[in-house]
Structure 1
Amino acid sequence: MTLTAPEPTGIDLLSELEQVVAVELDRHLGIAKEWFPHEYVPWSRGRDFDGLMGGEAWRPEESGLTDVGRISLTLNLLTEDNLPSYHFEIANMFGRDGAWGTWVHRWTAEEGRHGIAIRDYLMAARAVDPVALERSRMEHMENGYQGDHLGNPLHVVAYVTFQELATRVSHRNSGRECGDPLAEQLLSRIATDENLHMVFYRNLLKSAFELAPDQAMRAVTDMITGFRMPGHGMTGFERASLKMAVGGVYNLRIHLDDVLQPVLRNLKVMERTGFGPAGEQARDELGVFLALLEDKAAQFDERLAARKAREAARRA
């Protein structure tokens, strides 16, 4: 009779993954490019707002962004603003020492740069209402952020793998739809960072499949079936998400084709062997969910096509 060693869990699993973290950290630092937010900000277009400086109050017609672009950049920035909560959650899970701690702080520093760059751009370009933006920031940060399944390290690794790619896609598509070439250039730069973050976590998740396949499979299934973007709790999120979905920034089809499937293919989730009963059950659940998601995405595609046809007919 052959006995199978139990999969490592908790602290033991984090300890075994730390050598992978060290390798991936070195790889990341060797690839990541230094860049500066101020170089992407149209400072010459800026002028004083009303208030203490006695400038001009913001007017919607000043914004050079499309409606969907303004909504997308605002939502993306508010999501980036909650970085202190994200750092707290991840640092508590992974620790502040060793390779894990070095990565957590490096990731936080890079993510912080994104919020700085987007806010400076929006203010200098007078692209959004500064008063409404600040009120939304205060409300969103006061509510904080608490992710799902944060007591399990593999659930966190699985979540950030998909979330970083989703954020990258959202930034990239926001740039394409915003109507300002400079904003598109900035968001493309930010999307490059987000992609590197995704690769870091994806490679870590790939190693977790070798160390604890059943747990990794369960984590992936739970995260995909219950996936929510980190900004889901902010006021007006559903309305903004609908605008972004119709505007081609982020919707079910994009979520499935550009986020879920690329990661699953890279991890070879559906072709892997070596799962126990728990892992096989989790993979079966994922397969059923993906089929349902494909049906919903197809329905969304049909509704969106019909909507665009009606809009084209009205313009004609």
Structure 2
Amino acid sequence: MTIAPARHDGEPGLSAWSDAHLLYALEEVVEKELNRHLKVAKEWMPHEYVPWSDGRNFDGVMGGEAWAPEQSKVTDIGRIALVVNLLTEDNLPSYHHEIATLFGRDGAWGTWVHRWTAEEGRHGIVMRDYLLTSRAVDPVELERFRMAHMSEGFESDNGHSMLHSVAYVAFQELATRISHRNTGHHSGDPVCDRMLARIATDENLHMVFYRNLLRAAFELAPDQTMAAVRDVVTAFRMPGHGMPGFERAAARMAIGGIYNLRIHHDDVLQPVLRHLKVLEIGGLGPVGLAAQEELGLFMGGLDDQARKFDERRAAIEARRAARAAS
């Protein structure tokens, strides 16, 4: 395959790479990363992570016992985060539609799209089986939330640009991994923690795939890719933002240490930016330089916001501790 030399896309007189051109130019990279992924990804069975012997019938047509909060083994913050995480996984059909439309269903791109979808599907399966079998959450509320969330579907914030989508998932897969791991740590149930650790391993491999693809995009179209990363980082939202009650749940998860500004800055954005040395890339044209400078300024501002959040969170925890002591 012959690939056009990298150019300062965005400079006067130089046209930008089209999505079709980038998809073609990155095909070999996708194939390489797909083969690497298939070698390191380990097969696992969702049913092995579910405590089936704990299960019993619910009320309704089976005449079982209605759900009650005291039946749950997980913490309050664990229940909130588990519902948010599962509802996010539930929207997989919309995510598949998004990336299949952008990346295509042919060649290495198509093989990856279907493989990624199959692996992500396991996450929703095992989480729902665990939640219902262990009675961790209210099954009626969960189903109503699922219906509402999936009825809305999901549409990317990224303007359906291929580069924006690659940049977004490079960060989002890591954010999802962090959210799952922290949910497990705060769940209070070792079975839940083990299950979410297994899911997080998949999410990390997905992040590596997209991060390596983003690196190749920087080599081909540095200015366009820098602008896409700037756009994604400065306007980042988790894919579950449209679910019922998300803002309130996100606030509870932030205070509870599941996912907040400090985690987003330190454990999601910084690791990807640092690994790719995004703020150190040279040879950029005017568009890329402006995006790189804006990105650096944004990260500094986000760190300041995270510091203020840390102070507010510490104050809240201190007040809670004082009330508990009294």
Q: Who is 1:10 aligned against?
A: 19
* Alpha-carbon separation, structure 2, partners of 1:152 and 1:30: 30
Q: Who is 2:33 aligned against?
A: 24
Question: Which consecutive aligned stretches of 4+ in structure 1 deviate over 3 angstroms post-superposition?
Answer: 3-7
- The answer to whether residue 215 in structure 2 is matched with residue 206 in structure 1 is yes
Note the C-alpha offset of 1:7: 5.1
Q: Who is 1:292 aligned against?
A: 301
Note the C-alpha offset of 1:6: 5.1
* Alpha-carbon separation, structure 1, partners of 2:76 and 2:54: 20
Q: Who is 1:99 aligned against?
A: 108
Count, aligned residues:
314
Q: Deviations over 1:238-271 (max 9, x none)?
A: 0000110011000000000000000000110111
Q: Deviations over 1:148-196 (max 9, x none)?
A: 1242100000000000000000000000000100000000000000000
Q: Given the two structures, how large is their TM-score scaled by the length of structure 2?
A: 0.95
Identity of aligned residues (%): 68
What letter is aligned with 1:275?
Answer: L
5+ residue gaps in structure 1? none
What letter is aligned with 2:219?
Answer: E
Q: Deviations over 1:21-56 (max 9, x none)?
A: 000000000000000110000000000001111100
CA contact (8 A) 1:7 1:211 kept: no
- The answer to whether residue 67 in structure 2 is matched with residue 58 in structure 1 is yes
Q: Who is 2:97 aligned against?
A: 88
Instruction: Tell me the secondary structure at the aligned position of residue 126 of structure 1.
Output: coil
What letter is aligned with 2:262?
Answer: R
- The answer to whether residue 197 in structure 2 is matched with residue 195 in structure 1 is no
Q: Who is 2:241 aligned against?
A: 232
- The answer to whether residue 270 in structure 2 is matched with residue 269 in structure 1 is no
Note the C-alpha offset of 1:313: 1.6
Q: Who is 1:313 aligned against?
A: 322
Instruction: Tell me the secondary structure at the aligned position of residue 26 of structure 2.
Output: helix
Q: Deviations over 1:197-226 (max 9, x none)?
A: 000000000000000000100000000001
CA contact (8 A) 1:149 1:156 kept: yes
Indicate which of 22, 46, 54 corresponds to 1:45. 54
Higher relative contact order (CA 8 A, sep 6+): 2
Q: Who is 1:36 aligned against?
A: 45
* Alpha-carbon separation, structure 2, partners of 1:6 and 1:17: 18
5+ residue gaps in structure 2? 1-6, 9-13
* Alpha-carbon separation, structure 1, partners of 2:192 and 2:138: 17
Q: Deviations over 1:83-130 (max 9, x none)?
A: 000000100000000000000000000000000000000000011111
* Alpha-carbon separation, structure 2, partners of 1:132 and 1:25: 38
* Alpha-carbon separation, structure 1, partners of 2:300 and 2:249: 27
Q: Who is 2:4 aligned against?
A: none
Q: Given the two structures, how large is their TM-score scaled by the length of structure 1?
A: 0.98
